[in-house]
Chain A
Amino acid sequence: MLVQILNGLVYGGMLYVLSVGLVLIFGLRRVVNFAHGGLFMLGAYVGYAAYGIGGFWAAIVASIVVLGIFGIVLDRLVFRALQKQEPMVTVLVTFGLLMVLEDFVQSVWGKDLLTFTTPPSLSGTVAIGAVSFPVYRLVVIAAAVIVVGGLSAWLKLSRAGLYVRASSVDPVTTAMQGVDTEHLSALVVGVGAALAGLSGVIAAPLLALSPSMGSTILIESFIVVVTGGLGSFTGAFVAAMVIGQLHNLGVVFVPNIASMVPLILMVGVLIWRPAGLLGAKA
């Protein structure tokens, strides 16, 4: 049972790091980013390439840096123009982008499953009470905790974080106060993409790498964002943790419908609280 709960935390933590990027991008650009799963997948592959050259920590750094820069470029070239468009255009363009990324990765690395081995220094298990648990999975939980803490501190305590919060509810008033909200949005999309890259690379040793690995997790990530309340960071955290648990408990107790459990939760929340668990009241 303890192992199941810990595994739920691992999955929930990974989901949170991915989903919070979606929340950031939606908050500042009002763009629902279907390409986010592609960024996750690209992060895993960039990490895979860097791992071969400089080891695990190089993989982490490379994914964060490459995806962060890619995010800023994406904001300048695509998202900035999308914010004035109809939602349907946004869906089509970002979904198209996901496919382009998948094709790109497939042409470079092929479509066969690749394994990203757990770094030797983090393999092995530790005893927690009566059970033993893989060290690497604890590292994933720790990474999620660091992202939660770091992001909350940045948003709550720094000037830039204050501008981000202000801009996510009222970009025009924020700009009136002298903040360059375009610049800020590019930075935030960069951070969101870097977090997608980070979640991809930390998830890589737990999953097999394939060009389509991003599409699967994208669905659950959207469920997290919608369930938590669009635009709510705390909501995304709570939803990711709940869905992480449901995901694992579902696999154990109701294996036939496990993949439907998070979906059922989302539908329930939408009926009971349309704005999401912690979303602003509409």
Chain B
Amino acid sequence: MTLLQFEGVCSAYGSARVLHDVSLSVSKGERVAILGRNGVGKTTVVNTCLGLASMQSGRMAFLGRDVKAVRTFTAARSGLSVVPQGRRIVSNLTVRENLILGGAPQRKGRWSVDEVFRLFPILKERAETPGTAMSGGQQQMLAIGRALMSNPDLLILDEPSEGLAPVVVDELGETLVKLASGGMSILLIEQNFGLVHKVAERYYVLSKGSVVEEGKLAGLSMETLKKHVAV
């Protein structure tokens, strides 16, 4: 099944068009990456799914169903969970409360607060502290845990490695590989080629709001990939 599909999507903030004729898709069980420099519209792809950028033309579908009047809560309720850029941990909630917030769609599945604590034991230790009182790496774990709480079919991560130390990025990669091997489908938006190489099997390159490249990562060297993105 196709979990997320864009067909010729044009998307804008007010009258400022950012995405031009973007087509992409992620199927069940896939790990797909979106690459591209700053300001090319990667986050706008996510924002279009969330109704934060408005789709002007084209077609968007979640789990095979066309989405017409998208609202910000639609994606999570449909099974697409977002780990937003900058993590956006809610500052007046504790770690545990941030996780409960993530469970708002009340979709059935294996994930619960205890299950997230098993994946990230440090969160259990910090359960009652304010979510924003933790290090960047721990906040990223919390953002991922919060996204898992809705038992999504597709996990969308927007530049999760941003601002993290290299060793923490390695751990993040291992977590994502572990989730993927447990059957989680992933859409990873990244500028860190190492992380993309470790996690994804397919990629799209975005430039000035358009998809300029797409392909499989297998057999592609990191250098070639970097050259593609530098277009």
Q: Do chains A and B stick together as partners?
A: yes
Nearest-neighbor residue (CB-CB) of B87 within chain A:
A173
Query: Can you name 16 A-B pairs with beta carbons within 8 Å?
Result: A159-B100, A166-B90, A166-B93, A166-B97, A169-B92, A170-B88, A172-B72, A173-B88, A174-B90, A176-B73, A176-B88, A177-B150, A178-B77, A178-B104, A178-B105, A179-B104
Residues on B with beta carbons closer than 8 Å to the beta carbon of A163: 101, 104
Nearest-neighbor residue (CB-CB) of A231 within chain B:
B92
Q: Mark A168-202, 1 if CB is under 8 A from B, else 0.
A: 11101111111111000000000000000000000
Residues on B with beta carbons closer than 8 Å to the beta carbon of A175: 50, 71-73
Beta-carbon contacts under 8 Å, B147-190 to A: 150
The answer to whether B102 and A177 touch across the interface, beta carbons within 8 angstroms, is yes
Q: Tell whether B84 is near chain A: CB-to-CB under 8 Å.
A: yes
**What is the minimal beta-carbon distance from B76 to any residue of chain A, in angstroms?**
3
Q: How many residues of chain B get a CB closer than 8 Å to chain A's CBs? A: 23
Q: Tell whether B192 is near chain A: CB-to-CB under 8 Å.
A: no
**What is the minimal beta-carbon distance from A85 to any residue of chain B, in angstroms?**
16
Contacting residue for B73 out of A166, A168, A169, A178, CB 8 A: A178
Q: Tell whether B31 is near chain A: CB-to-CB under 8 Å.
A: no
Docked Cα-Cα span, A282 to B91, in Å, equals 14
Q: Besides A173-B90, A178-B76, 18 other CB < 8 A contacts?
A: A162-B93, A162-B100, A166-B90, A170-B88, A170-B91, A173-B88, A175-B73, A176-B50, A176-B75, A176-B76, A176-B88, A177-B73, A177-B76, A177-B102, A178-B104, A178-B105, A180-B73, A181-B73
Nearest-neighbor residue (CB-CB) of B93 within chain A:
A166
Q: Tell whether A273 is near chain B: CB-to-CB under 8 Å.
A: no
Q: Tell whether A165 is near chain B: CB-to-CB under 8 Å.
A: yes
The answer to whether B52 and A177 touch across the interface, beta carbons within 8 angstroms, is no
Given A162-B100, A166-B101, A181-B73 in contact, is the A176-B93 Cβ separation under 8 Å? no
A-B contact count (CB 8 A): 64
**What is the minimal beta-carbon distance from A171 to any residue of chain B, in angstroms?**
9
Chain A contact residues: helix, strand, loop or mixed = helix
Residues on A with beta carbons closer than 8 Å to the beta carbon of B90: 166, 169-170, 173-174
Residues on A with beta carbons closer than 8 Å to the beta carbon of B97: 162, 165-166
**Interface size for chain A: under 10, 10 to 19, 20 to 34, or 35 or more residues?**
10 to 19
Docked Cα-Cα span, A168 to B93, in Å, equals 11
The answer to whether A174 and B101 touch across the interface, beta carbons within 8 angstroms, is yes
Q: Tell whether B206 is near chain A: CB-to-CB under 8 Å.
A: no
Residue ranges of B at the interface with A (Cβ–Cβ < 8 Å): 50, 52, 71-73, 75-77, 82, 84, 88, 90-93, 97, 100-102, 104-105, 146, 150
Nearest-neighbor residue (CB-CB) of A168 within chain B:
B92
Residues on B with beta carbons closer than 8 Å to the beta carbon of A181: 72-73
Nearest-neighbor residue (CB-CB) of B78 within chain A:
A178
Nearest-neighbor residue (CB-CB) of A170 within chain B:
B90
Contacting residue for B71 out of A162, A165, A173, A180, CB 8 A: A180
Q: Mark A95-112, 1 if CB is under 8 A from B, else 0.
A: 000000000000000000
**What is the minimal beta-carbon distance from A169 to any residue of chain B, in angstroms?**
5
Contacting residue for A177 out of B71, B91, B104, CB 8 A: B104
Nearest 8 pairs of A and B residues by beta carbon = A178-B76, A175-B72, A178-B105, A178-B104, A173-B88, A166-B90, A179-B104, A177-B104
Q: Mark A48-71, 1 if CB is under 8 A from B, else 0.
A: 000000000000000000000000
Residues on A with beta carbons closer than 8 Å to the beta carbon of B102: 177
Q: Which of A168, A175, A178 has the most CB of B within 10 A?
A: A178
Q: Which of A166, A168, A176 has the most CB of B within 10 A?
A: A176
